[in-house]
Amino acid sequence: MPYHWGRFRGLAQEMKKPLLTELLLNNIYFDTCVYHQPGIDLLTKVIPTKNILFASEMIGAVRGIDPETGFYYDDTKRYIEASTMLSAEARSAVYEGNARRVFSRLDAALKAKGK
């Protein structure tokens, strides 16, 4: 999706739609099941931090080890850690804050446990 963000913006404009930030980004969230560093870098560059949720889908679609890095493709936390696009604050939002906002029932359950 981030790779073609310009196309989506341009199409929305032709349809006389509001900007994507207003049209979609109060409702749509993107997870980080993207299995290489350049993909995560692009995601974090194009999509606002508030719309990104940490995820790995581990032991899922891609279970092998990347010979270029020596680590599992689905170990997505490594890419988040290595991202030069994310500040410490943004990283924390991706890891926790955004998920607690989107999954409000989880947030409530965690708060009830004092977390």
Partner 1 sequence: MIIDVHGHYTTAPKALETWRNRQIAGINDPSARPKVSELKISDDELRESIETNQLAKMRERGSDLTIFSPRASFMAHHIGDLAVSSTWASICNELCYRVSQLFPDSFAGAAMLPQSPGADPKTCIPELERCIKEYGFVGINLNPDPSGGHWTSPPLSDRQWYPIYEKMVEYDIPAMVHVSTSCNECFHTTGAHYLNADTTAFMQCLTSDLFKDFPALKV
Q: What is the 3-state secondary structure (H, E, C) of the chain?
A: CHHHHHHHHHHHHHCCCCCHHHHCCCCCCEECCCCCHHHHHHHHHHCCHHHEECCCCCCCCCCCECCCCCCECCCCHHHHHHCCCCCHHHHHHHHHHHHHHHCHHHHHHHHHCCC
Interface with partner 1, residue 8, by CB under 8 A: yes
The reply to whether 57 belongs to the active site is yes
From the list 19-27, 42-50, 82-90, the region that binds partner 1 by CB under 8 A is 19-27
Q: Would you state the structure tokens that stand for residue 103, as one six-digit string?
A: 């999954």
61/88 with CB nearer partner 1: 61
Which residues ranging from 50 to 69 are in contact with partner 1 (CB under 8 A)?
Answer: 53-62
Q: Which of 14, 22, 57, 89 is catalytic?
A: 57
Among 2, 29, 39, 85, binds partner 1 (CB under 8 A): 29
Residue numbers of the site for partner 1 (CB under 8 A)?
1, 4, 8, 11-12, 15, 17, 20, 23-24, 26-29, 31, 33, 53-62, 75, 77-78, 95-96, 99-100, 102-106, 109-110, 113, 115
